């Protein structure tokens, strides 16, 4: 894999293969699609396909009545434009497949830009050793987690697509496009807003020289203003669609207050089931602050490689956000192969792979034991989600270690290949 040039035939083949795989599962195994749609690992209250307020919306009733639908209002016109799911499901399938392919193409562009290996302020000595965009896109498209998310028709694929496009726009020197894409991602699921600081840095580093804004402060202010403007427009549109502002508490409010405690693969639900009521609001704030406190520290520490910060933050969000699913993990795992060049520096690759596989296989089994067989209890499932979180946090830590060591070896060339001790 030399990377840069791929024959157009291979590109088409990859996309066609991924599309055919998904379509085959949709049409030949419709039971599997419906099963995955209901799995807690795939669909959370804020991304579930089944919990769409489409029926209410098409009958001119507010979709947020009844407290089941917690997603952004702009999904409703999108899905009501499609022919009815019950009679022509193929259009919905095609929509999801197209979104996945778009995500893959954005990832491909990120990989081809080489930003992972050499950013504006830092060039890794190992950057030659990398996978091509084709390989990274293929890893994303044929990742079982990605496929399961697509088959489960979780609406988080739209967020994934928006985030990947934001990064792709940023590395190709289009700050405005990046900000618009990030606004869409934030509008859909709120948490991507935390990616704004590293994304601004990434845009700043990759600006086109002829249209560059040199003052960092002015650049950041422009970016923030863009995001605020686009979000304001989106909110206004949502207001026109639903006729009231009640979508705000039932979409973002639910994420902030965690009022729906359906189990998922994250760490929040069990904690807040057990929480004393009088401390609930305090610990909600603590969890959100914990989630957002990484942004500043990581952005400062790895200032020279903003893409690394984005990747690590995506991994942290997949562990610590209120309603995570395997789709967040699949997004993180899509970004990790960009750092093929630091893989040799990682120390626990085997452990990480084993733990993630272990949790991926035992998680559904324990959930079954708890909910259906009744021979286990909630602790079974929670324990396995802890293992799942452990696996991902190991991967985040190890990747961070490898990237930092890579930077460090540039400063201390004499230490290459030597055993080191972390203090």
Partner 1 sequence: MTIQQPLDKGAAAADLQNSAAVAAPAATTSNGLPLPARKEPPPEKPSDVRRRSYIILSFWLIVLCLGLPIWWKTTTIYRADLPLQEMLDWADGKACRPVFPLRISIQANALQEQEAQNLLRLTQHALDDLNDFSGHHLRLQLAPPAASENRDHDHDSVLTIRLLPGETTTASFDPHAPVLDITYPPNTLPSPTSSSSSLATYVAGQLRSTFAEEQATISYLLSTNSIPSEHRPQGLSPDVADSLSKRTTRSLKYAPTYHLTFSLFTSGPLPSSWDIEDAIHQYMKPVLDVLSPIHNFTIDTQVQLYATPGVQNQVLNKEDLSSFINAAEWPLSPSIGGAPTINFVVFAGNQTIAVPPTQDSADSSGTAPAPHSWLIPQWGTVYLLSLPSDTAHLSSEALKQPLLTFTSHLLSLTGMPQSGSLPLRLSTLARIRSADLLLRASSTLGSLARLALALPSISIPSSVADGVSKTMAHLRLACETLGRPEGLAHARVAEAEAERAFFEKSMVGQLYFPDEHKIAVYLPLLGPVAVPLVMGLLNELKAWRKRRREAAEVAQGKKKE
- Which residue ranges make up the site for partner 1 (CB under 8 A)? 276-279, 281-283, 285-286, 289-290, 292-293, 296-297, 300-301, 303, 412
Q: Give least dist CB 278 to partner 1, A.
A: 6
**Long-range contacts, stretch 161-164, CB < 8 angstroms, 24+ apart:** 161/99, 161/100, 161/102, 161/103, 161/106, 162/188, 162/192, 163/192, 163/195, 163/314, 163/331, 164/103, 164/106, 164/107, 164/110, 164/331, 164/334
Q: Output 262 or 293, the one with its CB closest to partner 1.
A: 293
Rounded CA separation 255/192 (Å)? 13
Q: Which residue has the tokens 């290949």?
A: 417
Q: Give least dist CB 411 to partner 1, A.
A: 8
Q: Which residue has the tokens 């965009």?
A: 133
Q: Output 26 or 270, the one with its CB closest to partner 1.
A: 270
Q: Output 171 or 302, the one with its CB closest to partner 1.
A: 302
Structure tokens at 184: 């869409």
Q: Output 239 or 283, the one with its CB closest to partner 1.
A: 283
Q: Give least dist CB 289 to partner 1, A.
A: 6
Using a 10 angstrom Cβ sphere, with 0-12 exposed, 13-18 middle and 19 or more buried, the burial of residue 140 is buried
Q: Give least dist CB 403 to partner 1, A.
A: 15
DSSP H helices, 8-63, are 8-28, 30-38, 54-58
Rounded CA separation 117/307 (Å)? 10
Q: Give least dist CB 379 to partner 1, A.
A: 16
Give every CB contact of residue 170 below 8 A, 6+ residues apart in sequence: 178, 199, 202, 203, 206
Using CA atoms, how far residue 393 sits from 34, 309, 338, 364, in Å, is 30, 14, 18, 20
Q: Output 295 or 326, the one with its CB closest to partner 1.
A: 295
Q: Output 20 or 285, the one with its CB closest to partner 1.
A: 285
Give every CB contact of residue 279 below 8 A, 6+ residues apart in sequence: none
Q: Output 142 or 271, the one with its CB closest to partner 1.
A: 271
Q: Could you give the 3-state DSSP secondary structure of residue 214?
A: coil
Phi, psi of 123, deg, nearest 5: -125, 120
Q: Output 245 or 279, the one with its CB closest to partner 1.
A: 279
């Amino acid at each position: 894999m030399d990377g840069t040039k791929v024959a157009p035939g291979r590109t088409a083949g990859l996309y066609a293969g991924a599309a055919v795989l998904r379509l085959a599962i949709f049409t030949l195994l419709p039971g599997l699609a419906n099963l995955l749609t209901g799995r807690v690992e795939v669909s959370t209250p804020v991304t579930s396909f089944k919990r769409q307020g489409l029926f209410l919306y098409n009958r001119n009733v507010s979709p947020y009545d009844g407290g089941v639908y917690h997603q952004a209002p702009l999904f409703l016109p999108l899905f009501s434009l499609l022919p009815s799911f019950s009679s022509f499901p193929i259009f919905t399938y095609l929509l999801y497949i197209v979104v996945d392919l778009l995500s893959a193409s954005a990832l491909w562009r990120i990989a081809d830009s080489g930003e992972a290996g050499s950013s504006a302020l830092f060039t890794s000595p190992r950057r030659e050793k990398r996978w091509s965009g084709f390989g990274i896109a293929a890893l994303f498209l044929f990742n079982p987690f990605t496929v399961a998310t697509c088959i489960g028709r979780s609406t988080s694929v739209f967020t994934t697509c928006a985030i990947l496009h934001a990064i792709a726009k940023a590395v190709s020197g289009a700050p405005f496009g990046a900000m618009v894409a990030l606004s869409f991602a934030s509008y859909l699921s709120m948490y991507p807003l935390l990616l704004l600081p590293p994304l601004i840095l990434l845009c700043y580093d990759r600006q086109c020289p002829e249209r560059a804004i040199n003052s960092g402060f002015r650049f950041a202010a422009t970016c923030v203003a863009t995001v605020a403007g686009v979000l304001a427009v989106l909110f206004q549109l949502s207001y026109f669609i639903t006729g009231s502002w009640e979508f705000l508490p039932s979409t973002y409010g639910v994420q902030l207050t965690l009022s729906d405690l359906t189990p998922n693969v994250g760490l929040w639900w069990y904690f807040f089931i057990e929480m004393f009521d009088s401390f609930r609001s305090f610990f909600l704030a603590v969890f959100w602050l914990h989630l957002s406190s990484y942004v500043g520290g990581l952005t400062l520490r790895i200032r020279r490689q903003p893409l690394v910060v984005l990747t690590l933050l995506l991994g942290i969000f997949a562990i610590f956000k209120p309603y995570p699913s395997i789709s967040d993990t699949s997004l993180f795992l899509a970004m990790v192969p960009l750092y093929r060049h630091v893989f040799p520096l990682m120390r626990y690759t085997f452990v990480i792979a084993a733990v993630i596989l272990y949790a991926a296989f035992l998680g559904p089994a324990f959930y079954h034991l708890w909910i259906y067989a009744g021979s286990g209890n909630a602790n079974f499932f929670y324990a396995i989600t802890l293992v799942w979180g452990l696996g991902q946090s190991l991967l985040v830590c190890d990747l961070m270690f490898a990237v930092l060591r890579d930077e460090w070896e540039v400063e201390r060339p004499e230490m290459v290949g030597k055993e080191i001790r972390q203090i």
